[in-house]
Amino acid sequence: MLRRLLIVIVVFLIAIVIAADRIGAAVGAHVLAGKVQHFEGLPQRPSASIEGIPFLTQAFGGKYSNVKITAHGVPVNGVSVTTLSANLHGVHLPFSKALHGSVSRVPVDHASGTAFVSFADANAYLAKHPVAGQHVQIASGGSANTVNVTDRARAAGATVSLHGVGLVSVSANVVRVDVGQLSGSAGASHKKLPGHVSISLPLQGLPFRLQLLSVKVSPSGLTGTGGATNIVLGSPVH
């Protein structure tokens, strides 16, 4: 009987510890989400989760191994980043400071993440920023590094629908689409319309100092992937 009672007590205590750990993780993630919103100038509080078990040992140690952040509708140089997802590794936040709300900076060892821009958001930006006077639109090109580019122009007194295939790349956090030549038709006659078209989506100044290293095309948009090391949330960007 005593043995059963001890087992019940142990199980009960373990359940309390696990519940406290998970509640602590949820509260800690909420606090971090608020700090991230403030430090990174996000329009709304992002979702956050603190990975790793147990949470309490990380909290008392003041260092979290992996914090996942997801934000939506992040404005970057006039481009609305549809979804920004980041993993912050080695987040230094002393428990006492978090408890008293006296956090002015949060060092992070390493950040990795993605910036997804839907075609709808990309085209909204392009509608406000014509390319050499042309109001181009982009859509999936059916491969990981190409998009279909469309435009309308006047040729021989008629409106011509133009189209081409653009190669997508990224450099210095600028996503570029380069089209060697646009093709079009006016009425029943088809003709080649020469002219190189270069489209840019400027993503300098992404949250968490993310530096994009690659970009891929999906049926719904463009996804840039990158990272950063030894960053400090809450410090000015130089």
Is the pTM here over 0.85, yes or no?
no
Stretch (H or E) spanning 55? helix 55-61
The pLDDT score that the predictor gives to residue 32 is 77
CA dihedral over 157, 158, 159, 164, signed as positive or negative: negative
Please write the tens of the pLDDT for every residue from 171-206. 999 999 998 776 765 443 444 444 677 899 999 999
Average pLDDT of span 114-118: 98
Amino acid at 131: V
Tell me whether the omega of the peptide bond preceding residue 202 falls within 30 degrees of 0, making it cis. no
Q: How confident is the model at residue 70 (pLDDT cuts 50, 70, 90)?
A: very high
174: left (phi over 0), alpha (psi -120 to 50) or beta: beta
| pLDDT, average across residues 220-233 | 95
Residue 190: partners with Cβ closer than 8 Å, 6 or more residues away: 183, 184
Number of residues that make up the chain: 238
Mean pLDDT value across residues 26-38: 74
Q: Does position 96 have pLDDT exceeding 80, yes or no?
A: no
Which pLDDT score, from 0 to 100, does residue 208 have?
A: 95
Phi, psi of 120 (to 5 degrees): -65, -45
With H, G, I as helix, E, B as strand and everything else as coil, classify residue 95: helix
The pLDDT of residue 191: 44
Torsion sign (Cα): 7, 9, 12, 13? negative
Q: What is the rounded average pLDDT of the residues 131-149? A: 85
- d(CA 118, CA 92) in angstroms, rounded, equals 33
pLDDT confidence band for 131 (50 / 70 / 90)? confident
CA of residue 90 relative to chain centroid, distance: 19
Residue 22 has pLDDT above 80, yes or no: no
Q: CA-CA distance, 151 to 164, in Å (whole number)?
A: 9
Share of the chain above pLDDT 90, in %: 43
Number of C-beta neighbours around residue 28 at 10 A: 23
Mean pLDDT of the chain: 80
